[in-house]
């Protein structure tokens, strides 16, 4: 764990490039964390628009409903951390696209909804971006279970969450656990950018 903060750390964060696939509850909150922490080069990929039903866990406002998420997120980042530049793509990640979309990224955050897409992105990054790490999420729905949210490392793959609590009719996605998982993703990305691979 990095406990002594130096100008070198700030310079390294300002120079690193981090990619985010998805700009919903995980992606939008992780991007805001990274921008506020001093990351200056972010790439965000998402085709969707902001929906009112999702404002309970996403980093948008009611005034941004109906706008493309990446455009609204760029606006929010510019307001909170004007030194951060976002490269945005209003498209859905597709298999084999990781190398093009996230070229030059030291870390990619998986913030997708569908299990198949999550697995596909992980494989794509590990195969076609051999220098990059990927931080994904598994198990963030529900309430409570603070100590169950953890990060495990598997080579260049890092997994945040409790590993099993999926959303469903009786298991909601709510801001506390979603934002906590997004913050853990961002925190792991910062550590990786500074050369720290420890997850404990």
pLDDT digits (tens, 9 = 90+) for 120-170: 999 999 999 999 999 999 998 999 999 999 999 999 999 999 999 888 888
Tokens of 59: 């980093």
Q: Is 43 helix (H, G, I), strand (E, B) or coil?
A: strand
Q: Name the β-bridge partners of 134.
A: 108, 157
Give 3-44 pLDDT, tens digit per residue.
778 899 999 999 999 999 999 999 999 999 999 999 999 999
Taking the C-alpha atoms of residue 68 and residue 65, their distance in angstroms, rounded to an integer, is: 8
- Residue 79 Cα distances to 25, 63, 84, 128, 185, angstroms: 19, 15, 10, 34, 22
Taking the C-alpha atoms of residue 89 and residue 57, their distance in angstroms, rounded to an integer, is: 22
Tokens of 193: 């950018």
Taking the C-alpha atoms of residue 19 and residue 115, their distance in angstroms, rounded to an integer, is: 19
**Residue holding tokens 């951390």?**
81
Res. 100 pLDDT band, cuts 50 70 90: very high
């Amino acid at each position: 764990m990095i406990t002594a903060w130096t100008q070198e750390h700030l310079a390294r964060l300002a120079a690193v490039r981090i990619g985010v696939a998805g700009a919903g509850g995980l992606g939008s909150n992780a991007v805001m964390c990274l921008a506020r922490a001093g990351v200056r080069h972010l790439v965000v990929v998402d085709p969707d628009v902001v929906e009112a039903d999702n404002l309970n866990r996403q980093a948008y406002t009611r005034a941004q409903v109906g706008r493309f998420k990446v455009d609204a997120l760029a606006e929010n980042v510019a307001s909170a951390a004007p030194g951060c530049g976002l490269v945005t793509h209003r498209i859905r990640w597709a298999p084999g696209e990781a190398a093009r979309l996230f070229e030059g990224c030291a870390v990619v955050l998986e913030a997708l909804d569908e299990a198949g897409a999550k697995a596909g992105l992980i494989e794509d990054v590990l195969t076609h971006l051999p220098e990059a790490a990927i931080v994904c999420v598994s198990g963030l729905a529900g309430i409570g279970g603070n100590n169950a949210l953890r990060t495990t490392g598997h080579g260049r793959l890092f997994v945040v969450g409790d590993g099993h609590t999926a959303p469903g009719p009786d298991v909601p996605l709510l801001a506390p656990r979603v934002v906590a998982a997004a913050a853990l993703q961002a925190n792991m990305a910062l550590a990786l950018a500074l050369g720290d691979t420890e997850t404990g």
